[in-house]
Structure 1
Amino acid sequence: MKSQSSTLLAEVRTFRQNHPDVRYVDLIALDIPGHFYGKRYPIEMLEKVAAGSPLKLPQNAVLLGTQGGLFKIGDYCFHDGDPDANRRLVPGTLKPVSWESQPLGQMLITSDGTDTPIEFEPREVLAKVLERLQHKGIHPVVAFELEFYLFDKKLDNGLPQFARDPLSEDADDQPNLHIDRLSRFSEVLDDMAQTAKDQGIDITVITAEIGPGQFEINFGHLDDGLRAADWAALFCRSTRGVAFKHGHRASFMAKPYLQYPGSGMHVHVSLYDGAGNNLLAAHQQQPLRHAVAGCLELLPHCMPIFSPNHNAFRRLGGTVNAATRASWGFEDRDACVRIPESDPRNLRIEHRLASADANPYLVLAAILAGLEHGLEAKREPIAPLNEDRNSGTDFPLEMLDAVRAMQHQPVVRDKLGAEFVDVYCENKRQDHLAFQQEINAREYRWFL
């Protein structure tokens, strides 16, 4: 602990030297729906925290609904006195914020690694899965890919408008994969990429996707799963801020247009032993088949994680590369679990089901839990789509069904933690019911 305090203190002092105009730093963490919460600290107080002063925030901030409200979940929120819980600074994450009008910094905080971690904090859930795998000699290497849409900064009666082409001032309303779109929106995309790099995020490939104003960003592969999920979370925050600065809105909403493809979170995972050997490639790739079987078995029971809201379920099926059944295949983007072509050293799975607005910590935890379960159970998977285009198993396509499928599944409860599963499922159930408590114009049009 003394060594860590020394490292953190040096990080804060170096930051102050390099950014003397920064007076405040946002200390932030991801809640269950995938939104950042936290506090804005004077830089002088941050130095005291780095030196060992306590850092406490309300425990129940993790339980916020999508709109920020609190739900009664067991004894939490309304019968526990709303206690504080310890947090710690995440080393290496103190970075400048360039998209605000005033100089500002930000730094991740978490309860994992404290004396009393919050069992249902997303980062803690992933940390426990990674720790268990490490004890078993399994070391994941992870890379995220995130799709998002650009919209015009101004909404039209609350509805999104197509992003304006900076060169022509016309709406970018045509679906295409043209490289020219990268050139037309290069100013905002370059700023997004550079800002991400300033946050310590390794940005690699940028792609113009099929939807109008839709793009995909790939991140580098990491042998630190927590850091990989940190990158995905921080990228979402910085990208929204940069887009707004350039007169756009960036959104990771799963399905903003019914007629165009949704936005997904694709996660590449390979598994290595302590000597650096790819575990999935051993014994004529038999472990790969077992891992795929485990992923597919748990997938229907993790749908509230992969599709965390009403809109996310709209993304499944109907358009390009979004499955409605748990399936796998070699070089097949219609599959939930795709096996990209690669040499044995880089053999991996690409999990393609999660929506772009899912919580990256929980998505990775669920994927790793499936892989772990498969390696333990050693079952053969169903036929790949390459052999049978009808292969696949059903999974829930509506939130309340998905919650019921998740809450009482014994392997999910064991791998992700029973307390987390209960809290998460109730949060999603309450959030879904709250979403339904509004009568929209179509309902009046149909039934008035």
Structure 2
Amino acid sequence: MKSHSSTLLAEVRSFRQNHPDVRYVDLIALDIPGHFYGKRYPVEMLEKIAAGSPLKLPQNAVLLGAQGGLFKIGDYCFNDGDPDANRRLVPGTLKPVNWESQPLGQMLITSDGTEAPIEFEPREVLAKVLERLQHQGIHPVVAFELEFYLFDKRLENGLPQFARDPLSGDADDQPNLHIERLSRFSDVLDDMAQTAKDQGIDITVITAEIGPGQFEINFGHCDDGLRAADWAALFCRSTRGVALKHGYRASFMAKPYLQFPGSGMHVHVSLYDAAGNNLLAAHQQQPLRHAVAGCLELLPHCMPIFSPNHNAFRRLGGTVNAATRASWGFEDRDACVRIPESDPRNLRIEHRLASADANPYLVLAAILVGLEHGLEAKREPIAPLNEDRNSGADFPVEMLDAVRAMQQQPVLRDKLGAEFVEVYCENKRQDHLAFQQEIQAREYRWFL
């Protein structure tokens, strides 16, 4: 513990020396809907926390709804006195923020690794899954891919507008994959990439996607699942900030346009033993088939995680590469679980179902639990799409049905934690019901 504090203290002091103009640091963590919460601390107080002073924030901040409100969930929020819970600084995440008007720093905080972790904190849920796998001699290597849209900074009647092409000044309203779009939007994209690297995020490939103003960023393969999810979370925050600086809005909303492709979160996962052998490739890839079967079996019960809001369900069955059933296939982007072509060393699954605005910690935790369950159950999967284009299992496509499917699933309650499942499902149920408590103009047009 003493050496841990000394390492953190050295990190803070080095940051202060390299960034003497930074007076405040945002200490941030991801809540259940995938938004950052936290507090802004004077940098000198951060040094005291790194040296061992307690860091406490309200426990129930993790339970915030999509609009920031609190829901009554069991005894939480309104019958528990709104207690504080300990957090700790995440080493290696203290970085400068360059998209604000004033010099600022930010650093991740978490309850995992404290004496009393919050059972339903997303990072803690993933940490427990990874710890259990490690005890079994399973070491995941993970890479996220995130799609997002750029919009004009100004909304019109509350609706997003196409991003303006910096070269022509016209709306970028032509869906295409042309690489010239990377050049035309190079100022903002280059700034996003450099800012991500300044945050310690290993980004690799940048792609112009099919939707107007839509792009994709790939991250490097990482042998630390928590860090891989940290990268995805931090990238969303920095990208929104950089976009505003350049006169755009960046959004990871799942389906901003009905007529254009939605934005997904694709996750590549391979599993290795302590000696570095790819577990999925052993025995003529039989473990791969078992792992796929486990993923597909649990997928219908994980839909509130993969599609965390009303809009995310609109993305399913969309125009391009969005599955309508739990399916798998080799080199098939219509499948929920795709097996990219690779050598045995790099054999992996690509889980393609989650929306870009899903919580990366929970998405990865759900995928890993599916893989773990499959390796334990040793069942054969259904036929891949390469053999049968109609292969697949139904999954819920509406939030309340999805919540019911998740709430009583025994494997998820065991491997993600019963307390987490109860809290998460109730949060999603109440968020969905709150979303419905507004009469839209269309209802008056149809029913008045």
Counterpart of 1:285 in structure 2 is 285
The CA distance in 1 between the partners of 2:351 and 2:49, in whole Å, is: 38
Counterpart of 1:388 in structure 2 is 388
Counterpart of 1:122 in structure 2 is 122
C-alpha offsets along residues 202-221 of structure 1, whole Å, 9 cap, x if unaligned? 11000000000000000000
The CA distance in 2 between the partners of 1:318 and 1:40, in whole Å, is: 40
Q: TM-score, normalised by structure 2?
A: 1.00
C-alpha offsets along residues 45-75 of structure 1, whole Å, 9 cap, x if unaligned? 0000000000000000000000000000000
Counterpart of 2:377 in structure 1 is 377
Residue 411 of structure 1: how far off its partner (Å): 0.4
Residue 252 of structure 1: how far off its partner (Å): 0.0
Unmatched tracts of structure 2, length 5 or more? none
In structure 2, the residue corresponding to 1:149 is in which secondary structure?
strand
The CA distance in 2 between the partners of 1:440 and 1:209, in whole Å, is: 31
Q: Indicate if the aligned counterparts of 2:252 and 2:263 stay in contact, CA closer than 8 A.
A: yes
Residue 339 of structure 1: how far off its partner (Å): 0.0
C-alpha offsets along residues 189-232 of structure 1, whole Å, 9 cap, x if unaligned? 00000000000001100000000000000000000000000000
The CA distance in 2 between the partners of 1:41 and 1:356, in whole Å, is: 30
The CA distance in 1 between the partners of 2:255 and 2:361, in whole Å, is: 21
In structure 2, the residue corresponding to 1:326 is in which secondary structure?
coil
C-alpha offsets along residues 360-402 of structure 1, whole Å, 9 cap, x if unaligned? 0000000000000000000000000000000000000000000
The CA distance in 1 between the partners of 2:6 and 2:381, in whole Å, is: 49
Q: Indicate if the aligned counterparts of 2:262 and 2:318 stay in contact, CA closer than 8 A.
A: no
The CA distance in 1 between the partners of 2:63 and 2:324, in whole Å, is: 29
The CA distance in 1 between the partners of 2:93 and 2:447, in whole Å, is: 52
Q: Indicate if the aligned counterparts of 2:97 and 2:106 stay in contact, CA closer than 8 A.
A: yes
The CA distance in 2 between the partners of 1:168 and 1:78, in whole Å, is: 54
Q: TM-score, normalised by structure 1?
A: 1.00
The CA distance in 2 between the partners of 1:158 and 1:135, in whole Å, is: 50
Q: Indicate if the aligned counterparts of 2:34 and 2:357 stay in contact, CA closer than 8 A.
A: yes
The CA distance in 2 between the partners of 1:330 and 1:209, in whole Å, is: 22
Deviates more, 1:43-52 or 1:438-447: 438-447
The CA distance in 2 between the partners of 1:113 and 1:346, in whole Å, is: 31
C-alpha offsets along residues 399-429 of structure 1, whole Å, 9 cap, x if unaligned? 0000000000000101100000000000000
The CA distance in 2 between the partners of 1:381 and 1:184, in whole Å, is: 45
C-alpha offsets along residues 301-347 of structure 1, whole Å, 9 cap, x if unaligned? 00000000000000000310000100000000000000000000000
In structure 2, the residue corresponding to 1:269 is in which secondary structure?
strand
C-alpha offsets along residues 249-282 of structure 1, whole Å, 9 cap, x if unaligned? 0000000000000000000000000000000000
The CA distance in 1 between the partners of 2:140 and 2:398, in whole Å, is: 31
Q: Indicate if the aligned counterparts of 2:29 and 2:37 stay in contact, CA closer than 8 A.
A: yes
Residue 171 of structure 1: how far off its partner (Å): 0.2
In structure 2, the residue corresponding to 1:325 is in which secondary structure?
coil
Residue 20 of structure 1: how far off its partner (Å): 0.1
The CA distance in 2 between the partners of 1:253 and 1:444, in whole Å, is: 26
The CA distance in 2 between the partners of 1:410 and 1:103, in whole Å, is: 48
C-alpha offsets along residues 21-50 of structure 1, whole Å, 9 cap, x if unaligned? 000000000000000000000000000000
The CA distance in 2 between the partners of 1:447 and 1:245, in whole Å, is: 43
The CA distance in 1 between the partners of 2:330 and 2:307, in whole Å, is: 24
C-alpha offsets along residues 94-128 of structure 1, whole Å, 9 cap, x if unaligned? 00000000000000000000000000000000000
Counterpart of 2:213 in structure 1 is 213
Counterpart of 2:143 in structure 1 is 143
Deviates more, 1:314-323 or 1:230-239: 314-323
Q: Indicate if the aligned counterparts of 2:331 and 2:338 stay in contact, CA closer than 8 A.
A: yes
The CA distance in 2 between the partners of 1:336 and 1:317, in whole Å, is: 11
The CA distance in 1 between the partners of 2:78 and 2:236, in whole Å, is: 31
In structure 2, the residue corresponding to 1:393 is in which secondary structure?
coil
Counterpart of 1:134 in structure 2 is 134
The CA distance in 1 between the partners of 2:245 and 2:157, in whole Å, is: 21
Residue 292 of structure 1: how far off its partner (Å): 0.1
Counterpart of 1:162 in structure 2 is 162
Q: Indicate if the aligned counterparts of 2:208 and 2:215 stay in contact, CA closer than 8 A.
A: yes
In structure 2, the residue corresponding to 1:71 is in which secondary structure?
coil
Residue 168 of structure 1: how far off its partner (Å): 0.5
In structure 1, the residue corresponding to 2:350 is in which secondary structure?
strand
The CA distance in 2 between the partners of 1:251 and 1:183, in whole Å, is: 20
Q: Indicate if the aligned counterparts of 2:26 and 2:106 stay in contact, CA closer than 8 A.
A: yes
In structure 2, the residue corresponding to 1:363 is in which secondary structure?
helix
The CA distance in 1 between the partners of 2:189 and 2:344, in whole Å, is: 34
In structure 2, the residue corresponding to 1:249 is in which secondary structure?
strand
Counterpart of 2:314 in structure 1 is 314
Counterpart of 1:344 in structure 2 is 344
Deviates more, 1:146-155 or 1:316-325: 316-325
In structure 2, the residue corresponding to 1:210 is in which secondary structure?
coil
In structure 2, the residue corresponding to 1:133 is in which secondary structure?
helix
Counterpart of 1:416 in structure 2 is 416
The CA distance in 1 between the partners of 2:6 and 2:271, in whole Å, is: 33
Counterpart of 2:107 in structure 1 is 107
Residue 160 of structure 1: how far off its partner (Å): 0.1
Name segments (4+ residues, structure 1) moved above 4 Å.
none
The CA distance in 2 between the partners of 1:196 and 1:340, in whole Å, is: 26
Q: CA RMSD in A?
A: 0.3
Residue 288 of structure 1: how far off its partner (Å): 0.1
In structure 1, the residue corresponding to 2:140 is in which secondary structure?
strand
